Every structure is written in structure tokens, then in C-alpha cells.
């Protein structure tokens, strides 16, 4: 698809990669509807021509209302960048260093992350594809955001589970949605310079960057190039692109 032909939703568009994707799409001539729980951040970080509305992907009715609104604002809908996500790290079981007590990872933290990264992402795909099917819109394209953490990473059981599921469901959905003329692709970032990583200890970040063969952490533009490929290449479908500088966990 040509970027200028897209009428596309970008979730998690308030800052970081989502804001970058929405901006680059708009600059390329696409119509863009941006959603994020941080509506003030969207107002600050996105061009005026991008349609903006608060969106909590963990609320099913919010997702349905947002997709209906986006379809109306753009006069159609043929794309989704499924980017919204959170991190809530912690060991599943650990020993407290002071008391020696065995501590279990909180169920609420597990469910909160899956509510955004997995269930919310599924709701977005379901509603967007249903709208495309109802309006006989084809071709269409969905780009999911996974992570190289999907291969397994200490202290991220919940995040790993959600991102592994996104990569696997990319294959599933590409097969399910083929009759509707809709492709489903996936991009898996490594370590990327975003507000999430900005809060990391600088020495820890430098040590991590030293393990990346290209010698640096990624930038949102690096990921945009992969997303752009997914959107534009009509023969790319059901696969995940790792954009990680060659890092090995």
C-alpha cells in the first residue's frame, strides 16, 4: 500500500515510538487517528493535522467507540499500528534481601499488563478488522508491535507472555483475515530510546548498549523503517521483523 492511501489508527501515540509513527505517517500523506491515555502528550507531540482522542485499550467499550470515531473522522479505515503497551517488571518468585521472605509477583500487576499488551491489543485488531470487513474495505493492513523479549527475558514473565502472543497471533490473524484482503505483520524492537528507557540507570543503559553489535540502542526512526516496510510491501504477511541491532539475550 502507498502510505498516502492509508486511513490508519496508531495506538500508544502520545510519545515514544507511537508518536514518531503517527507523525511520520502524517508527513507521508496518510490520514491518522492517534489514541493514547495521555491526551495532553498527544496534543504536545503530534502535528495539528493528526486526529487525536483519548484511548484506553484495556477498556473494551473504549476500543469499540474509538474505532467507530476513527472511521467517521477519516471517512474509512484500512490500517492499524497496534503499538500501545506498558511494562510492569518483576521476578515471578524472589527472596527479599532484608527479611529473607519469599515474595510472589502480584497478580494485579500480571493482569494489568496483559490487559493492555495482550487483551487490549486483541480488541484493537478485532474491532478494526470487523469494521474493515463490514465496509468491505480492502486491502487492509495491521502492524502489531512485539519485542525481542518474546524469546524470554529474566524479570519479565508478563511482558514476555504478551509479546510472544502478539508474534504468534500475527501468524494466526494473517491466515484468518486473508479472506478479507487484510495482511497482518509484526515488528519486534530491541532496546529503543523512548521515555520507557529514559528512566533507566545510565550506567546500566551503557552496559546494555555495549552488548549490541551495532554499538548503540535503537531510535524510533529505526523502528519506523520496519513499520513502513510492513505497510508498503504487499507481499509481506504473517511474519515478525526483529529490529534489535543484533543483540542476543
Residue 44 confidence class, pLDDT cut points 50, 70, 90: very high
Q: Which residues contact 67 (CB under 8 A, 6 or more apart)?
A: 9, 77, 124, 127, 128, 131
How far is the C-alpha of 127 from the C-alpha of 69, rounded, in Å? Answer: 12
- List pLDDT tens digits, range 58-75: 999 999 999 999 999 999
How far is the C-alpha of 40 from the C-alpha of 44, rounded, in Å? Answer: 6
Catalytic residues, by residue number, are 159
Q: Which domains does the chain have, with CATH numbers?
A: 3-240 (3.40.50.720)
Q: Is the pTM value of this prediction over 0.85?
A: yes
Amino acid at each position: 500500500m502507498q502510505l498516502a492511501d492509508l486511513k490508519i489508527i496508531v495506538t500508544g501515540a502520545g510519545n515514544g515510538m507511537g508518536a514518531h509513527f503517527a507523525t511520520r505517517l502524517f508527513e507521508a500523506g496518510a490520514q491518522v487517528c492517534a489514541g493514547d491515555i495521555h491526551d495532553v502528550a498527544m496534543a504536545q507531540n503530534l502535528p495539528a493535522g493528526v486526529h487525536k482522542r483519548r484511548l484506553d485499550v484495556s477498556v473494551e467499550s473504549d476500543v469499540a467507540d474509538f474505532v467507530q470515531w476513527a472511521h467517521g473522522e477519516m471517512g474509512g479505515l484500512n490500517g492499524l499500528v497496534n503499538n500501545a503497551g506498558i511494562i510492569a517488571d518483576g521476578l515471578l518468585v524472589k527472596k527479599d534481601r532484608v527479611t529473607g521472605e519469599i515474595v510472589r509477583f502480584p497478580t494485579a500487576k500480571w493482569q494489568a499488563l496483559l490487559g493492555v499488551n495482550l487483551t487490549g491489543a486483541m480488541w484493537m485488531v478485532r474491532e478494526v478488522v470487523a469494521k474493515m470487513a463490514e465496509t468491505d474495505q480492502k486491502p487492509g493492513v495491521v502492524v502489531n508491535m512485539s519485542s525481542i523479549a518474546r524469546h524470554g527475558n529474566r524479570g519479565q514473565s508478563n511482558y514476555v507472555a504478551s509479546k510472544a502472543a502478539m508474534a504468534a497471533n500475527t501468524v494466526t490473524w494473517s491466515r484468518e483475515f486473508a479472506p478479507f484482503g487484510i495482511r497482518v505483520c509484526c515488528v519486534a524492537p530491541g532496546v529503543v530510546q523512548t521515555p520507557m528507557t529514559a528512566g533507566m540507570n545510565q550506567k546500566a543503559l551503557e552496559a546494555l548498549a555495549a552488548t549490541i553489535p551495532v554499538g548503540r540502542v535503537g531510535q524510533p526512526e529505526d523502528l519506523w523503517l520496519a513499520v513502513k516496510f510492513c505497510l508498503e510491501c504487499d507481499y509481506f504477511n504473517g511474519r515478525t521483523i526483529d529490529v534489535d541491532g543484533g543483540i542476543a539475550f
